[in-house]
Each structure stands twice: as structure tokens, then as C-alpha cells.
Amino acid sequence: MTSNSFADLAVRAIIVLALLTIGLSSGLLAQESSNPDVATPADTPPPIPASGDDAIPAVSVPDDGTAVVRILAAQRFTLETPYASAWNAERSLVRSGTILVLEVEKKWLRPRQTRQPVLYAGDRPAEVMNCGHAAGRIVVIVPDPADGTARNLATTIFFFGTPMLAERATAERGRAELAEARAQGIGPLSEKRRVEPSASTLRLADQNALLREVGARIILHSPTERALGEGFLGTP
């Protein structure tokens, strides 16, 4: 990357953050999506159909604990309006959590249409928001458990589990995947491979606002996916 593109990137990031701070774009976007007929990301898919489907594979964790290299950034957030996650079979509600930027071995990020290993944060799939294959960096949302307690990054195991669709992963499945990961000796990231969450917590309106935070980080950490990041930011 040239120095010019770095500068350009930095300028764009500053502009984005400034916009987020003064809330201009959020107000405008909220107005655009106020039509009740306009589906928002909160319109999550229905539960998995019960029958007639192709088989979901048996638990088989391919990760040896080296896939997730380190946590580069961590930002706590809360939402005024929760959303139903598309990343597990129960469509559990997300009220709070942590935005993470992870450095990952690239081979785990090669996008596939067929089954890909699901990234777990503990016993629950993390919401992976970008491909990250080129940069080796992904921005993920790690929702808090239902009781609202924040996940402790020092004790949470990050691993790639059985290749399948995350939306088909049940809570029971998540527990089985975690057990298998532990059985393989995968443990939490060491202190030097992670950062602590930022001291402040972002208090956001809804999933759209959360995705704007994600978008800004995608632009910053995976510049080849700028279009994706800018889309999350919103371009009225």
C-alpha cells in the first residue's frame, strides 16, 4: 500500500468517525428506514425448516488452536433496540457484546460457498462481518450471553469448529463444539495475543448503528473490502 492510500484511508476513517460522533448519518438513515415495510437487518430469517434438509455434519473441530492469531481491537457496545442474530439456530437476541478485530491465519478465511468452519467465541458462533481473506483480519461481533454479562476475553476460547452454516448451529451444538475444542487442547488466547476492551462502551441505537461501527473497522483493517465497509456506513 502506498503512503497516499494510507493517507486517504486515514482521512476517510476520520471523516467516518466524525460523522458517527455527531450523529448526522444516523438521523438520516433512521428516517429512510422508518417505513414499516422496509425490512431492516433485524428482519432475521426464520428458524431452520425441520425436515427434508440435507444433513448437518457431525461435530469435527478442524482447528488446532492456531487459527485465531490475536485480538487486535475490542470495543464493548450496548443496543437500545436488540436484534435477533442470524448466526445461530435459535435466533437469539443481541442486546450487548463486543466488537472485535481478529487477526486470523488466512487459510481459514478463504471464502467458500460450501461448508466453512464456523468461528466460535466460546459456545456460540461469532458474527463474522467481513471475509478478511486478503488482509487476514476480520471484524466480528461477539454477543454477550443472555444474562448480559460480558464475555471475558481472557477466558473465552476462539476456535473454528465444524464446517457448516452458522445459522444452523443450535446452543446444544455450540456446547458440543466447545467441548470438542477443549478436548483438543485449545485454550484462550494468551495475554500478549489479545487486547482488553476499550474502557468506554458504545451505546448504540440498533443493529444498523452497530454495523456502522463494524463498517468503519472493516475499512480500516481490511481495505480491499472498502465497498463492504462503506455499505455498512450508509451512503444516503
Partner 1 sequence: MSRLVLCLSRGFARIVDSRERTSSPRRLLLPLGVALLAGLTLTPQHALAVDSSFRRGDTNSDGSVNLADAIGLLDYLFSGNAPTPPCVDALDANDSGALDLADPIGLLSFLFNAGDPPPAPFTDCGPDPTFDTIDCIGPIPSCPLLIAPEGEFAFVGFSILPSLEAFIIPQPAPVDLAEFAGRKFGMRPFVISLDPSILSGSVRVESTQSAVTFYASDGTPLPLPLEINVADLPSTVLVNIDAPGGATLTLTATASGASAELSVVSGPFDGLAGTSLTNPPYFRYSRAIPTIEPEVAVAVDPTRFGDRSGQTYRLYIVSHRTLDEWALDQSLVDVSGGFETQMVGGISIQEGIVSAWSAPLDGGPLVSLGYDVVLDFGQDGFLDPGDVIDGLGQTPAFSVVNPLTDPGPYPVMSVDYSAGGFLVQRSYYPTNMATLDPLPLVIISHGNGHLYTWYNYLGAHLASHGYVVMSHANNTMPGIESASSTTLSNTNYFLSAISTIAGGIFDGNVDVERIAWIGHSRGGEGVVRAYDRVADGTFTSTQFDLEDIRVVSSIAPTVFLGVASSDPHDVPYHLLAGSSDGDVTGGVDCQICQFFRIARRGTGPVQVTYIQGASHNDFNSDGFDDGVGPNRIGRFAAQRLAKGYLLALVETYLSDNPATIEYLERSPDEFPLSAVTANNTVATEFDPAVIAEQLVIDDFQESPNDPLLSSAGWSVQTNFDVTSEEVQRDLNSVLTHTVNDPRNGMTQSGNTAIESESGLYVEWPSSRTRFYEWLVPNSDADWRRFSTLSLRGCQITRHPYTDTWNAALGFTITLTDGTGQTASLSTIDYAPLTRPYQRNGLGTGFGWSNEFNSIRIALTDFQAASNLDLEDIQSLRFDFGGGFGTPLGRIGLDDVQLIR
The answer to whether residue 102 forms part of the interface with partner 1 (CB under 8 A) is no
Q: Which of 87, 120, 158, 160 binds partner 1 (CB under 8 A)?
A: 87
What would the grid cell of residue 86 be? 442470524
d(CA 140, CA 160): 13
Q: Please choose, out of 3-11, 43-51, 71-79, 186-194, the segment that lies near partner 1 by the rule CB under 8 A.
A: 43-51
* # residues near partner 1 by CB under 8 A: 53
| Contact window for partner 1 (CB under 8 A) among 41-49, 153-161, 172-180, 194-202 | 41-49
3-state secondary structure of 146: coil
The span from the CA of 161 to the CA of 177, in Å, is 6
Residues counted in the chain: 236
- Residue 46 as a binder of partner 1 (CB under 8 A): the answer is yes
Cα-flanking dihedrals φ and ψ of residue 131, to 5°? -75, -55
Rounded CA gap, 75 and 166, in Å? Answer: 23
Amino acid at 215: G
- Give the cell for residue 32: 429512510
**For partner 1, which is the closer residue by CB, 42 or 195?**
42
- Under the criterion CB under 8 A, does residue 107 sit at the interface with partner 1? no
Contacting positions for partner 1 (CB under 8 A): 29, 32-33, 35, 37-41, 43-46, 48-49, 51-55, 86-87, 110-116, 125, 127-129, 131, 133, 165-168, 207-208, 211-212, 225, 227-228, 230-236
